[in-house]
A and B are shown apart, each in its own frame.
Chain A
Amino acid sequence: MTEFWLHPALLYLMAAVVLPFACGRVRQFILVCFPLLAVLSVLNMVFGEGQSGSHWHTQVIGVDIIFGRVDKLSVLFALVFSAMSLIGSIYSLHLKHSREHVAAYLYIAGAMVVVFAGDYFSLFVGWELMAFASAFLIFANNSKSSREAGKRYLLVHITGGLCLLAGIVVLYVETGSTAFGPINTDGPAFYLILFGFLLNAAVPPLSAWLTDAYPQATITGAVFMSAFTTKTAIYVLLRSYPGTEMLIWLGTAMAVYGVVYAVLENDCRRLLAYHIISQVGYMVAAVGLGSEMAINGAGAHAFAHILYKGLLFMGAGAVIYMTGYSKLSDLGGLYRKMPWTLGFYMVGAVSISAFPLFSGFVSKSMILAAAHHDHNAIIFLLLTLASAGTFLHTGLKLPYYMFFAKPKAAAEKKQAIENLEPPRNMLVAMAIAAVLCIGIGVFPNALYAILPFSTDYQPYTASHVSGSLNLLLFTALGFFLFLKYLDPERTISLDTDWLYRRAAGFVLWIAHHPITRYEKLVSNISNSVVLPSLHNGAKLGLWIDTHVIDGFIHGLAKNIMRSAQKIRHLETGVMSHYALGMCLGILLSIAVYFALRHFIQAPTLGTMLLQGGL
């Protein structure tokens, strides 16, 4: 490749290095400038000539490392990642410290490394960078619960990362290659790598880390986190596991699981986090379907999802930032005080709900069309049900209880304040995301043009528009009729994190009680019976060694020395003595021979030779 190619991750790493030393306007300039440069560099990859291909090769201990594999799929994800990094940066311009920005930029750099990785080892580097950097977006919230959630998040991701690494090593041993592409082995490498990927994609039962950690992150941190981890997982699944049937069912289960839990949830960001799981479920199912339409759908939906989910997290974050409350049971009546936030939030909400003219409509429908095309009735019905559930919670329940319901006592003191709109930079970031959501919905061909496969898919047919509208409007009817059953309750929902938060306690109890007791018993027996007998045995061995064996060896050596001394005296140096000795030896041999012949009558080989000779 003769073209100059710049890895976007480098821009984020440079920004992360510079940011701690900058302050005020300079820092704000860096925060806008570097992501903007990243957007431009990725746009250059979309439209520039000669940018696609493979860049930044190296070899480490005989393994090919490729940091810059550029093709349509990697550029699609890089474009939306860089766009979201710009929006998130603008949203967090008001922050006084740079620590969140540094963590976020390292996190985005990790995501970019994964997206452009051409081999599994460089992918792993980006993967781990993402896990560690994003954990600091949780720690940055600086509360006891966030520190604990951050630790759990880190432990879960270390487990996933180690599985991935083990899978990569096994794959290398089995196939001799670490090229990042479809995995053609059925061995343990297939499942180890899949486990690592599914954990990051938050596929139940490996999903609880997401809903545990995201609501504990900082307001701006959650905006970044909602975009990158699960979507890089979709990207790597698209590369390595397209058409794996298991994923269709896992993805569909995920989509329904997310909406079921969202009903129970009271914390607004946790509700949105459950909807990340639900939406990523569509993408996982699409990866499993594996057709060109499905792959396009997964890519398009990931693209649209990052923008509208970022927007939803920004809207909810703005409410938390201004009111200090995150639970629906504490909020309400904000529609007059935060009209712009409400408006932008609703754009995100109707986008995720797939209303015509909004981004979700043109991306999600590709996945549904792929399931339709496959004649897969159960998958199609369940995914449609999850669509209704998405609108029910994100588009109706959450905004209703946040903005319209009667203000609760806790939030009432804030009601005295006339205007609760967040800082202008937050509104600008939300506006950009909202414009993009509408833009994609109105001009879907712009998005379709950059998908991995060329497509002539047409989302705006009369039956599709009418069907979607009916589905959503009658979902809304159900919501308003049964509203009282949806009133937020002050509860938390048990998820699979119960296994390591409570069941782990049971394991600890077993370790503390039965196992410790057993260990004590074993060490008592060892101290009172085994150790003394071993000690005495060793003493006896030592005595035998010094007295018997050493004595024998010494005696033997002494005798050998004595014999040697005597033999030395035989060596006189006189030739006639030696000749005499030889003659005596010959005579002695002959005497022995005849003696043997006398006693052993049977003819031997020697006697036969002798007879023949004589």
Chain B
Amino acid sequence: MKTDNPLETDNPMNTERQTASQRLADFIGSPEYTHRRWQIFIAVLLVSAIFDLFITSDHTVFFWEILPVWNAGYGFISCLLIIFVSKFLGHTCGLMQKEDYYDDKDVK
């Protein structure tokens, strides 16, 4: 589904795969299964989101709880907010500094 796939990991170790554990390790790590991993991941996302459509909330307090797939959307937006707000604070507001920040400017 993507070319520069983020699930991509290290180079495949082209060893013989005999045991189940090695096959499992290959499946979760090696790039040759990247496409398959994405397929499974998308399928899980779809099943989870569709399943959520049929669930009625037990005890609604907030208005958003009646919105369909609210949790999925909120999770995704939270993720983006956390990544970009933090990086903004780190880069633009100067929270991130060089590793020797506290070493090189000791008070004499």
Q: Which residues of A approach B to under 8 Å, CB–CB?
A: 259-261, 263-264, 332-333, 335-336, 339, 372-373, 375, 377, 380-381, 384-385, 388-389, 392, 403-407, 461-464, 466-486, 489-494, 501-502, 505, 508-509
Q: How far is the CB of B43 from chain A (nearest CB, A)?
A: 11
Q: How far is the CB of B17 from chain A (nearest CB, A)?
A: 11
Does the CB pair A471–B72 fall under 8 Å?
Answer: yes
Q: Scoring B residues 67 to 107 as 1 if CB is less than 8 Å from chain A, else 0, what string do you get?
A: 00111111110111111111101100011111101100111
Q: A residues within 8 A CB of B11?
A: 406
Q: Which of A264, A384, A484 interacts with B86 by CB under 8 Å?
A: A264
Sample of 19 A–B contacts (CB below 8 Å):
A260-B82, A260-B85, A263-B83, A264-B90, A372-B59, A388-B74, A392-B82, A406-B10, A464-B58, A466-B52, A467-B55, A467-B71, A471-B78, A474-B45, A475-B75, A475-B78, A478-B83, A491-B90, A492-B101
Distance (whole angstroms) from the CB of A453 to the closest CB of chain B: 20
Chain A residues contacting B25 (CB-CB under 8 Å) are 335-336, 339
Residue-wise, chain B 41-76 has the 8 Å CB interface mask toward A (1 for contact) of 100110011011001111101100000011111111
CB-nearest residue of chain A to B49: A470
If A384-B78, A404-B29, A478-B76 touch, whether A471 touches B86 (CB-CB below 8 Å) is no
Closest B residue, CB atoms, query A508: B107
Evaluate contact between B51 and A466: CB separation under 8 angstroms. Answer: yes
> Do the beta carbons of A260 and B9 come within 8 Å of each other?
no
Chain B residues with Cβ below 8 Å from A480 are 6-7, 41
* Docked CA distance A463–B90 (Å): 37
A-B pairs with lowest CB-CB distance, top 7? A478-B79, A263-B86, A505-B107, A388-B78, A471-B75, A483-B6, A474-B75
Chain B nearest CB, measured from A518 CB (Å)? 19
For the complex, give the distance between the alpha carbons of A255 and B55 in Å. 29
Among A403, A471, A484, the residue within 8 A (CB) of B71 is A471
The total of chain B residues at the interface (CB under 8 A) is 55
Determine whether the beta carbon of B45 is less than 8 Å from that of A473: yes
Choose from B58, B76, B96 the contact partner of A475 (Cβ within 8 Å). Answer: B76
B36 to chain A, nearest CB (A): 14
Q: A263-B83, A463-B55, A471-B72 are in contact. Are A491 and B97 (CB under 8 A)?
A: yes
Complex CA distance for A407 and B11, rounded to whole angstroms? 10
A404 and B9 contact, CB distance less than 8 A: yes
Q: How far is the CB of A165 from chain B (nearest CB, A)?
A: 30
With A372-B61, A493-B96 as given contacts, are A478 and B80 in contact (CB-CB < 8 Å)? Answer: yes
Shortest Cβ distance from B77 into A: residue: A478
Chain A proximity of B33: nearest CB distance (Å): 12
Bound CA–CA A380/B81 (angstroms): 16
- Give every chain A residue within 8 A of B75 (Cβ-Cβ): 388, 470-475, 478
Q: In whole angstroms, how far apart are the Cα atoms of A481 and B90 in the complex?
A: 21
Select which of B29, B52, B107 is within 8 A of A335 by beta carbon: B29
Partner of A474, one of B56, B79, B105: B79
Question: Does B14 count as interface, using CB distance less than 8 angstroms?
Answer: no
Q: Is B3 an interface residue when CB atoms closer than 8 A count as contact?
A: no
Also in contact, A491 and B98, with CB within 8 A (given A470-B52, A474-B45)? yes
Q: Which residue of A lies closest to B4 (CB)?
A: A484
User: Given known contacts A263-B83, A264-B90, A389-B79, what 16 new A-B pairs fall within 8 Å (CB)?
Assistant: A259-B82, A263-B90, A377-B62, A385-B82, A388-B74, A388-B79, A466-B55, A468-B71, A470-B71, A471-B71, A471-B72, A473-B48, A474-B71, A475-B78, A478-B78, A490-B98
Known: A260-B82, A263-B90, A467-B71. A406 touches B76 (CB 8 A): no
B9 engages A492 (CB within 8 Å):
no
Q: How many inter-chain contacts with C-beta < 8 Å in the A-B complex?
A: 172
Given A335-B28, A388-B75, A263:B87 Cβ within 8 A? yes
Chain B: minimal CB distance from A513 (Å): 11
Tell me the bound Cα distance from A312 to B99 in angstroms: 24
Which residues of A are found within 8 Å of B57, using beta-carbon distances?
Answer: 463
Closest to B11 in A: A406
Minimum CB distance partner of B5 in chain A:
A480
Closest beta carbon of chain A to B4's beta carbon, Å:
8
Interchain CB contact under 8 A, B99 and A389: no
| Cβ distance B7 to chain A, nearest Cβ, rounded Å | 6
The CA of A483 and the CA of B29, in the complex, are separated in Å by 16
Residues of A with C-beta under 8 A to B61: 372-373, 375
CB-CB under 8 A for A332 and B10, given A263-B90, A264-B90, A470-B71: yes
- Which residues of the other chain, A, contact B74 by a CB distance below 8 angstroms? 381, 384-385, 388, 471
B69 to chain A, nearest CB (A): 7
The one of B28, B56, B79 that contacts A463, using a Cβ cutoff of 8 Å: B56
A520 to B83: give the CA distance in the assembly, Å. Answer: 53
Whether the pair B9, A475 counts as a contact (CB closer than 8 A) is no
Complex CA–CA separation, A335 to B41 (angstroms): 19
Assess whether A260 is in contact with B86, with CB atoms less than 8 Å apart: yes
In the complex, what distance in Å separates the CA atom of A261 from the CA atom of B106? 25
Report A-chain residues with C-beta under 8 Å of the C-beta of B9. 333, 335, 404-406
